[in-house]
Amino acid sequence: MRYLVQVKNLSELYVKGIGSTRTMADSQQTTALAQLASELKAEGLRLGFQQIGIADIDLTEAHQRLHDWLDKGYHGNMAWMADHGDMRTRPDQLLPGTTRAISLRMDYLPGDTQLIAALKDGETAYISRYALGRDYHKLIRKRLSQLAAFIELRAEALGIPLPQGFQHRAFVDSAPVSEKPLAAKAGLGWQGKHTLIINRAAGSWFFLGEVLTCLPLPLDSNPQADECGECTACLKVCPTDAFPRPYELDARRCISYLTIENKGPIPEEFREPMGNRVFGCDDCQAICPWNKYASLTQEIDFLPRHKLDSTKLVELFQWTEQEFLDRTAGSPLRRTGYESWQRNLAIGLGNAPHSAEIIEHLQRAREHATDMVREHIDWALMQQRNVDRKRKRKIKNSEREW
């Protein structure tokens, strides 16, 4: 039997037994959340990010991969990678109530830094392109905090109910968050064979950041497919063979780890392959064919400071500790510390073309160096004095393809 019931408004449908105000409210909230997602992406672009995506926080697959990686000891002495239990792959343990991760990327590649030329020039210090300017953590964290505040403000304006004790948190690789799996889920790219996120339209020269929220924002359900194909250029070009297999990095062999995270002596087997790389390494990105689509940074703070993209090794080696502190203020280079900075430069000088000037500076620095730095200076002096070895190294480098 069918009944006709006259109602004055939709809210009466629930009372009359024909409809539900819950259905109406859910529909309105879905519309409001979609509007908020659109607005926050526009605001993210305004704040200087190049892409914004929204993902759920299910990192089950990443959880297993992380534990397998840790079990192999590939994290070296980065104990913090194993700390905090499962928090790294359980964002809701970092921020209770979290249901979504807003993932963002920001280009950092500075223009005209002569990347390949610097790598080929044995007298010039090579510093990873992300570290040539100011430290990205503060800049990106500030922008993420601004975005989080915008989200809260607009949620209230759109009538989206905020739970009691509503919170949001912003992260820039300084907290236990698995940012790369989240970025992949959010559609920012795929995790390449070198383990970095690659975007088919933007390469891989970008920073990642996240905002965790409890708001059930609509998901970006268009993850990019893995398009590495049969290419293994990044694996083959690695100077220290840091990739046991595709999609897996042994940090203990990675030059970025050796020159930044490692605070002790650098094993001899890695010193010569390091070449002139004194802070980080970009080889696996520099060789990646997808980076022909990379865009240059629009951030002034990421541009080279103190001519760090073209300074000679011997000049940097002459910095006093105070000069190091002064010139690396607000820079990622500060992370390595002066002793490790001298250690890295000593190796670079050992790998540089034979030079009486270099030998003189190494001998002079040896007199007041710490035990660890002195060990690397002695190695560098031995390398500098072995002219025949220098000649063989030059031939080997000339055969390397870029």
Do residues 37 and 217 lie in contact, with contact meaning Cβ atoms separated by under 8 Å? yes
Q: Is 281 annotated as a binding residue?
A: yes
Q: Is 95 annotated as a binding residue?
A: no
Residues 232-285 have pLDDT tens digits of 999 999 999 999 999 999 999 999 999 999 999 999 999 999 999 999 999 999
Q: Detail the DSSP E strand segments found in 136-246.
A: 168-171, 190-191, 197-198, 206-213
What is the CB neighbour count within 10 angstroms for residue 321?
A: 12
The reported pLDDT for the residue numbered 385 is: 93
What pLDDT band is residue 356 in, cutting at 50, 70 and 90? Answer: very high
pLDDT digits (tens, 9 = 90+) for 311-342: 999 999 999 999 999 999 999 999 999 999 99
What distances in angstroms separate CA 110 from CA 143, 294, 335, one per listed residue? 20, 11, 21
d(C-alpha 35, C-alpha 218), whole Å = 10
Segment 18-66, tens digit of pLDDT: 445 456 568 899 999 999 999 999 999 999 999 999 999 999 999 999 9
Q: Considering only residues 111 and 10, tell me which one the structure prediction assigns the higher pLDDT.
A: 111
Mean pLDDT over 203-223 rounds to 95
User: What pLDDT does 324 receive?
Assistant: 98
Q: Identify the pLDDT of residue 401.
A: 60
Distance separating alpha carbons of residues 341 and 319, to the nearest angstrom = 10
Q: Which of 56, 121, 173, 241 is catalytic?
A: 173
68 is catalytic: no
Instruction: Name the strands in the sheet holding 100-107, side by side, starting at the edge strand that comes first in the sequence.
Output: 51-55, 100-107, 206-213, 168-171
pLDDT at 314: 98
Q: Is 214 annotated as a binding residue?
A: no
Q: Is 8 assigned to a binding site? A: no
- 180/113: higher pLDDT: 180
Instruction: Place 2 in a pLDDT band, splitting at 50, 70 and 90.
Output: very low
User: With bands split at pLDDT 50, 70 and 90, how would you rate the model's confidence at 8?
Assistant: very low
- The pLDDT value recorded for residue 392 is 57
The answer to the question of whether 197 is labelled as a binding residue is: yes
Q: What is the rounded CA–CA span in Å between residue 88 and residue 171? A: 12
Q: What's the confidence (pLDDT) of residue 59?
A: 95
Contact 54, 61 (CB under 8 A): no
Looking at the whole model, is its pTM more than 0.85? yes
Q: What is the pLDDT of residues 45-56, one digit of tens each?
A: 999 999 999 999
CB 125 within 8 A of CB 348: yes
Contact 348, 255 (CB under 8 A): no
Residue 22 counted as an annotated binding residue: no
For position 393, what pLDDT does the model report?
A: 60
For residue 344, pLDDT over 60 is answered with yes
Name which of 92, 221, 106, 107 is nearest 169 in CA terms. 92
Q: Which residue has the higher pLDDT, 5 or 205?
A: 205
What amino acid is encoded at 26 in this protein? D
Radius of gyration of the CA atoms of the chain, in A: 26
Residue 355 marked in a binding site: no
- Known binder of ligand: residue 282? yes
Per-residue pLDDT at 388 exceeds 90: no
Percent of the chain with pLDDT over 70: 90
Is 358 annotated as a binding-site member?
no
Find the mean pLDDT for residues 160-169.
Answer: 82
The DSSP line for 217-284 is PPP---PPPP--TT--HHHHH-TT---SBTTB--GGG-HHIIIII--SPPPHHHHHHHTTEEE---HH
What average pLDDT score do residues 370-398 get?
A: 81
**pLDDT at residue 113 greater than cutoff 80:** no
Share above pLDDT 90 across residues of the chain, in percent, rounded to a whole number: 79
